[in-house]
């Protein structure tokens, strides 16, 4: 195996030299820089291969690869070198998020940056593409509980390079699940830096101390394989080995599962293909570039590894259709945001040639469940759902799963035990939206030590955006002592309720209110009317902050009645149709697509109105 890694390294260095052509090559229109953390992990070698494969489609594009060899200092120099080459866009897979965040922020000021696999701190990048490591950890933990059963057992955890987000997120996720079975004990946790050989050496030592291990849980297939080799000589009994990555290459997770060496693994796509596809869209000026793409992790076991490789999208007993039928269960027409969202979905369906059956549920979950059941009966190809509330979806989602109909969650998430029951989420980061509202407010009041009294108008009880916008807003208030939420009432994202609820609060609180924080524009606009009816000036006597950034809100900003609006992008139609089409064509689709969003102030409202939707 060591010879194989050395061979790959020589090949990769040789390829880097070949690829180190500058933009002067005739016919090169775009130069992409790919800064790789290291080439000592099979997963990273595969990432570069995925990039090379994807870029073949574009004749006028060149990629320059650099290899930081697990050194942040070298990676910083690599990025500077790539900038000197005059690259048009940077793709970076960081050695260490902390070390590399400053340079990513700096490059982002000059050219677009796609961050691959490990998050930077903050939002100073164009697009993030990577796995949901916490989910992978949780799914691994559930798998361990399932394998060991009530009897439990002793397990060894093998971690990657300390300091990289996957290590802590996967470990936390796994531990959160195994703690549900008191008979499962982690008897050793070792660090093998994602290296097979290190895992082999560590395991050889561990097995001398603990001859009766039941399971080894490694954070990569390479380390799981190393652990297996480290124990193999002892020919010990029935030890289970679990890994992550699920690559299809030589000694990759898929073949290790097929050979029975691994009990299972979870796919962790490299994102290299997606990075090139989005890089080209960015360079060609395409509008709808999301902010985050969270790639899907599939559980691979002996029974499904073959199917996974040749996965076909089976539809029992369905007549073959000329076009795709998307059944969409909408919330209702509760807000102007929803109007813009519906228009975007309807237009995109036409643009993509997809038959759309959109049904409204008047914001009733009971009705929405009935609509989803009707789609299952009609055997639609894909179900789109904007869930009115987060909970209560298990049963009908299982029915859709049994009918082999994937569910795309649009603009709102659900809270259920098994997140494999839905296929993709397309929407916003609502916690960040709440934080942006809170940060602006704190900044607006500067160093004032006066107590600032806040009225919060909440969206529909139990709705994901209402829950998470509250979480985000309160999180930033936690570091202050003078901001107080004196009233927090539901107004269901509706203008009429925003007005009536605000009227009652004004009569109760009289002049004590400094700020209204509304979870959406419609409730804010209703409150603005109530404030005016009460004889006060919204935007001056009472500061008004909202989320959505719809046209009516921009007009209220321009008129000085609204002070700040956080954008919640309703234009989800193109991404919904793209995922629907890919699903129908048996392509892998991301687990989450998080939209790009900005903020609107009284200063930039007028300009935004000229370009809005």
Q: Does 578 bind ligand GYE (CB under 6 A)?
A: no
For residues 242 and 275, the answer to whether their CB atoms sit within 8 Å is: no
Binding residue (CB under 6 A) for ligand GYE from 334, 456, 567, 578: 334
Give me the least distance between CB of 125 and ligand GYE, in Å please: 23
Region 455-474 residues binding ligand GYE, contact defined as CB under 6 A: 465
Give me the least distance between CB of 547 and ligand GYE, in Å please: 6
For residues 104 and 92, the answer to whether their CB atoms sit within 8 Å is: yes
Give me the least distance between CB of 124 and ligand GYE, in Å please: 24
- Separation of alpha carbons 70 and 90, rounded Å: 18
Q: Does 436 bind ligand GYE (CB under 6 A)?
A: no
Minimum CB distance to ligand GYE smaller for 39 or for 410: 410
Q: Does 520 bind ligand GYE (CB under 6 A)?
A: yes
Q: Does 344 bind ligand GYE (CB under 6 A)?
A: no
Give me the least distance between CB of 519 and ligand GYE, in Å please: 7
Give me the least distance between CB of 524 and ligand GYE, in Å please: 10
Q: Does 411 bind ligand GYE (CB under 6 A)?
A: yes
The residue whose Cβ lies closest to ligand GYE is 337
- Window of 14-22, 53-61, 335-343, 599-607 that interacts with ligand GYE by CB under 6 A: 335-343
How many CA atoms lie less than 13 Å away from 127 in the CB half-sphere? 27
Give me the least distance between CB of 571 and ligand GYE, in Å please: 12
Q: How far apart, in Å, are the Cα atoms of 337 and each of 235, 273, 331, 490, 567?
A: 63, 33, 12, 18, 10
Binding residue (CB under 6 A) for ligand GYE from 548, 567, 578, 608: 548
- Window of 40-48, 136-144, 271-279, 331-339 that interacts with ligand GYE by CB under 6 A: 331-339
For residues 221 and 203, the answer to whether their CB atoms sit within 8 Å is: no
Q: Would you call 320 exposed, middle or buried from its count of C-beta atoms within 10 A (0-12, 13-18, 19+)?
A: exposed
Q: Does 568 bind ligand GYE (CB under 6 A)?
A: yes
Give me the least distance between CB of 391 and ligand GYE, in Å please: 16
Give me the least distance between CB of 300 and ligand GYE, in Å please: 34
CA angle 460, 462, 463 (to 5 degrees): 60
Give me the least distance between CB of 393 and ligand GYE, in Å please: 15
Give me the least distance between CB of 520 and ligand GYE, in Å please: 4
Give me the least distance between CB of 335 and ligand GYE, in Å please: 4
- CA 320, 322, 326, 327 torsion: positive or negative? negative
Q: Would you call 111 exposed, middle or buried from its count of C-beta atoms within 10 A (0-12, 13-18, 19+)?
A: middle
Q: Does 592 bind ligand GYE (CB under 6 A)?
A: no
Instruction: Compute how many other C-beta atoms are within 10 angstroms of the C-beta atom of residue 307.
Output: 11
Binding residue (CB under 6 A) for ligand GYE from 62, 198, 240, 338: 338
Give me the least distance between CB of 415 and ligand GYE, in Å please: 15
Element of type H or E holding 611 = helix 605-611
120-155 burial: b if 16+ Cβ within 10 Å, else e: beebbbbbbbbbbbbbbbbbbbbbbbebbeeebbbb
Q: Does 72 bind ligand GYE (CB under 6 A)?
A: no
Element of type H or E holding 382 = strand 382-385
Minimum CB distance to ligand GYE smaller for 297 or for 385: 385
Give me the least distance between CB of 148 and ligand GYE, in Å please: 40
Q: Draw the binding track, 160-199, toward ligand GYE (x: CB under 6 A; -: no contact).
A: ----------------------------------------
Chain-centre distance for alpha carbon 255 = 28
Beta bridge pairs of residue 592: 294, 425
Q: Does 412 bind ligand GYE (CB under 6 A)?
A: yes
Give me the least distance between CB of 535 and ligand GYE, in Å please: 28
10-28 burial: b if 16+ Cβ within 10 Å, else e: eebeeebeeeeeeeeeeee
Minimum CB distance to ligand GYE smaller for 230 or for 459: 459
CA angle 594, 595, 600 (to 5 degrees): 135
Give me the least distance between CB of 568 and ligand GYE, in Å please: 5
Q: Would you call 259 exposed, middle or buried from its count of C-beta atoms within 10 A (0-12, 13-18, 19+)?
A: exposed
Q: Does 493 bind ligand GYE (CB under 6 A)?
A: yes
Binding residue (CB under 6 A) for ligand GYE from 36, 133, 171, 335: 335
> Rg of the Cα trace of the chain?
26
Q: Draw the binding track, 521-540, toward ligand GYE (x: CB under 6 A; -: no contact).
A: -x------------------
Q: Does 384 bind ligand GYE (CB under 6 A)?
A: no
- Separation of alpha carbons 503 and 531, rounded Å: 7
Minimum CB distance to ligand GYE smaller for 70 or for 335: 335
Beta bridge pairs of residue 601: 564
Minimum CB distance to ligand GYE smaller for 98 or for 496: 496
The SS3 call for residue 410 is: strand
- Window of 145-153, 244-252, 330-338, 599-607 that interacts with ligand GYE by CB under 6 A: 330-338
- Window of 42-50, 332-340, 366-374, 377-385 that interacts with ligand GYE by CB under 6 A: 332-340
Minimum CB distance to ligand GYE smaller for 335 or for 453: 335
Write out the two tokens for 265: 């693994």
How many residues touch ligand GYE (CB under 6 A)?
13
CA angle 347, 350, 354 (to 5 degrees): 125
Minimum CB distance to ligand GYE smaller for 416 or for 486: 416
- CA 326, 332, 333, 337 torsion: positive or negative? negative
Element of type H or E holding 244 = strand 240-245
Which residues contact ligand GYE by CB under 6 A? Answer: 334-335, 337-338, 411-412, 465, 493, 520, 522, 547-548, 568
């Amino acid at each position: 195996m060591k010879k194989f890694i050395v061979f790959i390294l020589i090949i990769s260095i040789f390829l880097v030299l070949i690829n180190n052509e500058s933009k002067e090559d005739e016919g090169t229109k775009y130069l992409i820089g790919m800064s790789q953390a290291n080439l000592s992990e099979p997963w990273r070698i595969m990432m570069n291969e995925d990039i090379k494969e994807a870029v073949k489609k574009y004749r006028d594009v060149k990629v320059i690869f650099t290899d930081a060899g697990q050194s942040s200092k070298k990676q910083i120099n690599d990025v500077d070198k790539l900038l000197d080459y005059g690259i048009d866009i940077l793709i970076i897979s960081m050695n260490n998020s902390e070390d590399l965040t400053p340079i990513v922020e700096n490059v982002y000021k000059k050219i677009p940056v796609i961050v691959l696999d490990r998050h930077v701190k903050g939002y100073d990048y164009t697009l993030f593409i990577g796995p949901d490591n916490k989910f992978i950890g949780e799914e691994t933990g559930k798998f361990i509980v399932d394998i060991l059963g009530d009897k439990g057992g002793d397990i060894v955890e093998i971690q990657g390079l300390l300091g990289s987000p996957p290590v802590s997120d996967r470990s936390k996720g796994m531990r959160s699940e195994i703690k549900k079975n008191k008979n499962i004990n982690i008897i050793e946790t070792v660090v093998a830096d994602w290296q097979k050989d290190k895992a082999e050496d560590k395991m050889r030592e561990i097995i001398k101390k603990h001859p009766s291990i039941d399971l080894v849980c490694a954070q990569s297939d390479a380390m799981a394989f190393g652990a297996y080799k480290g124990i193999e000589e002892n020919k010990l009994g029935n030890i289970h080995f679990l890994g992550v990555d699920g690559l299809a290459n030589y000694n990759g997770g898929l073949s290790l599962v097929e050979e029975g060496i691994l009990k299972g693994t979870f796919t962790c796509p490299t994102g290299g293909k997606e990075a090139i596809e989005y890089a080209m869209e960015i360079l060609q000026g395409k509008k709808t570039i999301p902010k985050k793409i969270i790639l899907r992790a599939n559980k691979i076991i002996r029974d499904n590894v073959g199917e996974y490789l040749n996965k076909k999208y089976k539809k029992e007993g369905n007549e073959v259709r000329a076009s795709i039928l998307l059944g969409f269960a909408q919330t209702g027409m509760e807000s102007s945001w929803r109007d813009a969202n519906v228009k975007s979905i309807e237009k995109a369906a036409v643009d993509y040639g997809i038959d759309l059956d959109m049904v409204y549920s008047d914001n009733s979950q009971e009705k929405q469940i009935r609509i989803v059941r009707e789609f299952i009966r009609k055997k639609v190809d894909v179900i789109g759902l904007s869930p009115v509330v987060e909970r209560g979806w298990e049963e009908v989602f299982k029915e859709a799963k049994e009918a082999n109909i994937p569910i795309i969650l649009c603009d709102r998430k659900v809270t259920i035990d098994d997140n494999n029951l839905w296929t993709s989420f397309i929407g916003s980061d609502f916690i960040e939206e709440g934080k942006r509202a809170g940060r602006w407010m704190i900044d607006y009041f500067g160093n004032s030590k006066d107590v600032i009294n806040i009225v919060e108008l909440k969206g529909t009880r139990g709705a994901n955006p209402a829950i998470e916008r509250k979480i985000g807003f309160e999180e930033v208030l936690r570091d202050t002592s003078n901001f107080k939420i004196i009233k927090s009432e539901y107004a269901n994202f509706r203008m009429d309720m925003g007005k009536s609820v605000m009227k009652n609060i004004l009569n109760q609180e009289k002049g004590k209110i400094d700020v209204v924080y509304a979870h959406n524009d419609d409730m804010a606009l209703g409150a603005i009317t109530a404030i005016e009816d009460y004889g006060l000036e919204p935007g001056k006597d009472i500061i008004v902050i909202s989320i959505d950034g719809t046209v009516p809100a921009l007009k209220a900003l321009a008129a000085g009645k609204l002070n700040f609006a956080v954008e919640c992008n309703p234009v989800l139609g193109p991404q919904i149709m793209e995922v629907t089409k890919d699903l129908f064509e048996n392509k892998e689709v991301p687990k989450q697509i998080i939209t790009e969003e900005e903020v609107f102030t009284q200063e930039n409202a007028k300009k935004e109105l000229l370009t809005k939707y």
